[in-house]
């Protein structure tokens, strides 16, 4: 569905955004393993999250509603889907986390997905789950994956790549099979799974490894920081851990909110977003905006369902946006916000360099190439590195006929960019925003005029 886009005179307002996708996925999938019912507030109606809800139903969870809450009642025993298949749609989170649940069950299930999900790598979960004792069969490490569940063996695993999905798949496998699992992270990833297991009274411990001061081996008169371990975080699920029921209140999705923050940054506006998740593993984009020249205020801080949240106001009153260099763990902490960051960089003075973002090549699209092609259509010089981007900003970009590449984050980022371009623009398929935020254009209309 092509959508015409036009420059806007104003980008300001007060809004809310739908519930956090990452938390919603986990609420739906953990309901499969819970000993009691879950009530879930603010569950988003995005296609990805509906895939996780559908997967839970397929395995026997009863899905109802009470007012504005979902009521998820776990089955006494997991049910085999009618045809032995669960369709994960476009959602890699559904496919990877569900792989862990089925691997630790007594079921044999085949996971499938749409044309966008099928090429995405599954071997990163297949390999460790196979080591635990499950049988997983896939062609070239992609969907469809046939999983033969087993009573799994305890597992200790250090993540070779930063991936909250792999970590979560292993923890869910341990829950499903009542075995202990220890996951170690050299790079800290989002921790929604650990928080929700803990909130639902699961026996899980999290240990952060902090660097210590030690004598410098070259000059003993000096000291330097040294990590006593090869990892920064260790998460351990105890054998026999069980989940209780409870109420899960999902905050607004930070990654969706980031597009409206980007609009405020580019358009010298002020945007306030209420009830947004402030999980420390998710908010690096706020630091980027501050460094780029924006004012960021957070009020009404609170924690519900073990997830911090608050009201974020982003404003840019005067002065040019500044370019930044992004790499290493900073890139990992804002990987989903790179499309929003890229459109801000197009309007910043100087050259923005993003490194260590190779993971973006295996999302819904090759996001590095998708971002670069659309920036070039605007008249912005953008080079593609093996693991990142080089963006020369500060010019007056022009309207363009943008491509979504079937990727919701690309469509949202360049729809925001279109508000500040010279001349009209379009996006070839605006419907892809339904994957994460069907309300996107409605919310965009509230902050623009």
Look over the chain and give the mean of its residue pLDDT values, rounded to a whole number. Answer: 96
Nearest-angstrom CA–CA distance, 281 and 192: 9
Residues 4-56: pLDDT tens digits?
A: 999 999 999 999 999 999 999 999 999 999 999 999 999 999 999 999 999 99
User: What positions carry a catalytic annotation?
Assistant: 336
| For residue 226, pLDDT beyond 80 | no
Residues 66-82: pLDDT tens digits?
A: 888 999 999 999 999 98
Encoded tokens for 430: 């605006």
* Other Cβ atoms within 10 Å of 18 Cβ, number: 23
Residues 6+ apart with CB under 8 A from 332: 162, 187, 189, 356
Characterise 115 by phi-psi region: left (phi > 0), alpha (psi -120 to 50), beta (else): alpha
| For residue 419, pLDDT beyond 80 | yes
CB contact burial 344-378 (16+ within 10 A = b; e otherwise): bbbbbbebbbbbbbebbeebbbbbbebbbbbbebb
Report the run of H or E that residue 250 belongs to, with start and end.
none
Q: Where are the domains of the chain?
A: 3-19+252-447, 21-249
Q: Which CATH superfamily is domain 3-19+252-447 in?
A: Enolpyruvate transferase domain (3.65.10.10)
Instruction: Work out the angle at residue 134's Cα, subtended by the Cα atoms of residues 130 and 138, and round it to the nearest 5 degrees.
Output: 65
Nearest-angstrom CA–CA distance, 316 and 291: 12
pLDDT for 225: 78
pLDDT for 395: 84
Nearest-angstrom CA–CA distance, 204 and 207: 10
Cα 393 → chain centroid: 27
The 3 state secondary structure assigned to 206-217 is EEECCCEEEECC
My answer on whether omega of the bond before 379 falls inside 30° of 0, hence cis, is no
DSSP single-letter state for residue 19 = B
- How long is the chain? 449
Mean pLDDT score, 116-130: 95
**CATH of the domain spanning 21-249, picked from 3.90.380.10, 2.40.110.10, 3.65.10.10, 3.30.2130.30:** 3.65.10.10
Name the one residue in this structure whose structure tokens are 């026999």.
Answer: 240
At 375, is the secondary structure helix, strand, or coil? helix
At 199, is the secondary structure helix, strand, or coil? helix
69-73, strands of its sheet edge to edge: 62-66, 69-73, 38-41, 246-249
Residue/partner pairs of 301-306 with CB below 8 Å, 24 or more apart: 304/249, 304/251, 305/196, 305/199, 305/246, 305/247, 305/248, 305/249, 305/250, 306/195, 306/196, 306/198, 306/199
Is 3-19+252-447's fold the same as 21-249's?
yes
- Closest to 301 (Cα-Cα) out of 311, 313, 291, 288: 311
Strands (DSSP E) found in 198-294: 204-208, 212-215, 223-226, 233-237, 246-249, 270-277
pLDDT for 92: 97
Residues 323-367: pLDDT tens digits?
A: 999 999 999 999 999 999 999 999 999 999 999 999 999 999 999
| For residue 302, pLDDT beyond 80 | yes
Q: Are 174 and 134 in contact (CB under 8 A)?
A: no
Which range has the worst mean pLDDT, 62-76, 122-136, 301-315?
Answer: 62-76
Mean pLDDT score, 384-408: 96
Q: Are 185 and 232 in contact (CB under 8 A)?
A: yes
């Amino acid at each position: 569905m092509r959508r015409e886009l036009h420059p806007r005179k104003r980008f300001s307002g007060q809004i809310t955004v739908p519930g956090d996708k990452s938390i919603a996925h986990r609420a739906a999938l953990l309901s499969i393993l819970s000993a009691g019912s879950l009530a879930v507030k603010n569950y988003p109606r995005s296609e990805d999250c509906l895939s996780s809800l559908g997967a839970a139903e397929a395995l026997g969870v009863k899905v109802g509603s009470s007012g504005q809450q979902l009521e998820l009642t776990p089955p006494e025993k997991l049910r085999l889907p009618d045809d032995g298949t669960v369709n994960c749609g476009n959602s890699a989170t559904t496919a990877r986390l569900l792989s862990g649940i089925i691997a630790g069950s007594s079921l044999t299930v085949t996971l499938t997905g749409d044309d966008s999900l099928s090429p995405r790598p599954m071997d990163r979960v297949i390999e460790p789950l196979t080591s635990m004792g499950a049988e997983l069969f896939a062609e070239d490490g992609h969907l469809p994956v046939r999983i033969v569940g087993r009573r799994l063996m305890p597992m200790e695993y250090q993540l070779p790549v930063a991936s909250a999905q792999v970590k979560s798949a292993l923890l869910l496998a341990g829950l499903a099979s009542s075995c202990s699992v220890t996951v170690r992270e050299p790079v800290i990833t989002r921790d929604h799974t650990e928080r929700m297991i803990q909130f639902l009274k699961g026996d899980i411990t999290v240990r952060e490894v902090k660097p210590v001061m030690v004598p410098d081996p070259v000059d003993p008169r000096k000291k330097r920081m040294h990590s006593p371990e090869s990892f920064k975080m260790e998460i351990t699920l105890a054998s026999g851990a069980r989940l209780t029921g409870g109420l899960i209140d999902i905050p607004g999705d930070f990654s969706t909110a980031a597009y409206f923050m980007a609009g405020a940054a580019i358009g010298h506006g002020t945007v306030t977003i209420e009830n947004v998740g402030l999980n420390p593993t998710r908010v690096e984009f706020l630091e980027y905006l501050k460094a780029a020249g924006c004012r960021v205020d957070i009020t009404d801080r609170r924690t519900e369902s073990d997830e911090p949240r608050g009201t974020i106001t982003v404003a840019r009153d005067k002065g040019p946006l500044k370019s930044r260099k992004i790499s290493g763990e900073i890139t990992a902490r804002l990987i989903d916000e790179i499309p929003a960051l890229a459109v801000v960089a197009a309007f910043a003075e100087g050259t923005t360099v993003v490194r260590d973002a190779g993971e973006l090549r295996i999302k819904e699209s090759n996001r590095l190439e998708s971002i670069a092609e659309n920036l070039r259509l605007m008249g912005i010089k953008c080079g593609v590195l093996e693991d990142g981007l080089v963006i020369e900003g500060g010019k007056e970009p022009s309207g363009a006929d943008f491509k979504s590449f079937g990727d919701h984050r690309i469509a949202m980022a360049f729809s925001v960019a279109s508000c500040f371009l010279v001349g009209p623009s379009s996006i070839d398929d605006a419907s892809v925003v339904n994957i994460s935020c069907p309300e996107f254009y409605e919310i965009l209309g509230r902050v623009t005029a």
